[in-house]
Chain A
Amino acid sequence: MKIAVTVNGERYERDVEPRTLLAYFLREDLGLTGTHVGCDSSSCGCCVVAMDGDRAVKSCTMFAVQADGHEITTVEGLEQGGKLHPLQQAFWDQHGLQCGYCTPGMLMTSYVLLKHQPAPNEAEIREAIAGNLCRCTGYQNIVKAIQQASTELAAEPAAAAVGS
């Protein structure tokens, strides 16, 4: 099936098998391997990407054809003009990652969270990232990182806009 998807600001027209999952479309057709796959049951959240800027979706649970006509932002789309997104910087500053496998999904869920709730408290952050599993960090530094990014984005709201 022919689809047209805008990914990280760039429009792609591709012919895909109907059963191709969005995660594998991004990884294998577009070579965007930052989006990971860690389970078969939509549990781990390693594959989360942002759809139309304001929805966090598990790309292993969506067909590529369902993304037709939509805008997708992946972890590769966060950095703008050579400057890390405040979330990326904060995950680095706060030691919010270890093996790095959950990190792209965690970043994208956080990215969408901060779009909807620019100043979430700890409980709200923990609830928002509950669909993203991490085996390494125990989440504490991830929470701190999201808080740091929230503070920084509040100081310069323009940084929040990505891929548009």
Chain B
Amino acid sequence: MKPNLKQSLIEHLESVRLDDARLDELEALQRTRSARSWWHSRTLQLFAAACLLVALVVSWLPFEQPDLLHAIAEEAVMNHLAQTPLEVHGTTIAELDGHFDQLGFRLVEPLAPAEGARLLGGRYCSLQGVTAAQLRRHDAQGRTQNLYQVPYRPASMGELPDPALGEQPRTLEMRGLRVDLWVERGLLFALTRD
């Protein structure tokens, strides 16, 4: 008498077995791959998380991405040290403004008072390829200061303090000089001093 379908099925399926060699291979695969695969995927996850964290930090701390800003400050310091002769002389911004007709903006009187400082004149200069105004003055002790004005690009320069909002300028030290950086009315100001 023939076995019933279920019995035949069970016998048939039970006869389907992996041989010992194949079982050994699969066990070896599990031993070697379980740790490695997990470590690999965990490493990728950690790497992705680290990249995300860096991106967040960078986006949250715009002051920490001032490559262009540093370059501008460095160039301002170099101009300061070069002491290139002035193109125009005057003691007020209004006097000088007429000379700077190639800037694409009007010179701005800084909000912060330069106590005891005396304006000497100005010249065109270039900061990172952008035409800028370099205004030279002496402070109360006769030390030279250079005030630079250039169009402000927040996307590349990052957020900068605005004295109109009660913020203090950002200060960098370069080549032994102090550079103050801030924004006023759409212009980036850089002040170098001896």
Query: Are A and B bound to each other?
Result: no
Q: A residues within 8 Å of B by Cβ? A: none
Q: B residues within 8 Å of A by Cβ? A: none
